[in-house]
Amino acid sequence: MLLSQALDIVHNFTPQEFSTLSDLLSPELIDECLADTGTVTLRKRRLSMEMMVWAVTGMALFRSHSMTQLVSHLDILLPGKRPFVAPSAVVQARQRFGEDVIRLMFEKTQRLWFEKTPLSHWNGLTLMAVDGTVWRTPDTPENDAAFGRTANINKCSEWPQVRMVCQMEVTSHLLSAAAFDSVSAVGEADLAAQLIPQTPDHSLTLFDKGFYALGLLHAWQSAGTERHWMLPLRKGAQYRVIRSLGAGQALVELQLSPQAKKKWQGAADTLTARLISKELNGKTVQILTSMCDPLRYPKADVVDLYGHRWEIEHGFREMKQHLLNNELTLRSKKPELVRQELWGVVLAYNLLRFMMAQMAYSLKGVEPYQMSFKQSALYLRSHLSLLPGISPGKIPRIMEEIMAMAPGLVLPERRVRHYPRAVKKKPQRYPLRPPLRS
DSSP 151: B
Quick one: pLDDT at residue 17?
32
Quick one: pLDDT at residue 21?
37
**How do residues 171-180 score in pLDDT, each as one tens digit?**
999 999 999 9
DSSP 170: T
Quick one: pLDDT at residue 189?
94
Quick one: pLDDT at residue 316?
95
Least confident of 238-247, 290-299, 411-420: 411-420
Q: In terms of pLDDT, which residue wins out, 172 or 51?
A: 172
Report the C-alpha gap between 63 and 344 in whole angstroms. Answer: 12
Q: In terms of pLDDT, which residue wins out, 119 or 395?
A: 119
> What average pLDDT does range 123-128 have in this prediction?
92
- Mean pLDDT (the chain) is 81
Q: Is the dihedral of CA 376, 381, 382, 383 positive or negative?
A: positive
**How do residues 396-430 score in pLDDT, each as one tens digit?**
676 777 778 888 888 887 777 666 777 777 777 78
Report the C-alpha gap between 259 and 101 in whole angstroms. Answer: 37
Quick one: pLDDT at residue 384?
67
Q: Using 50, 70 and 90 to split pLDDT, how confident is the model at 75?
A: low
Quick one: pLDDT at residue 254?
94
> What average pLDDT does range 179-208 have in this prediction?
94
Q: Contact at 8 Å (CB) between 399 and 13? A: yes
Q: Is the pTM of this model over 0.75?
A: yes
Report the C-alpha gap between 175 and 110 in whole angstroms. Answer: 7
By the 10 Å C-beta count (0-12 exposed, 13-18 middle, 19+ buried), 87 is classed as exposed
Three-state SS for 317?
helix
Q: Using 50, 70 and 90 to split pLDDT, how confident is the model at 78?
A: very low
Three-state SS for 436?
coil
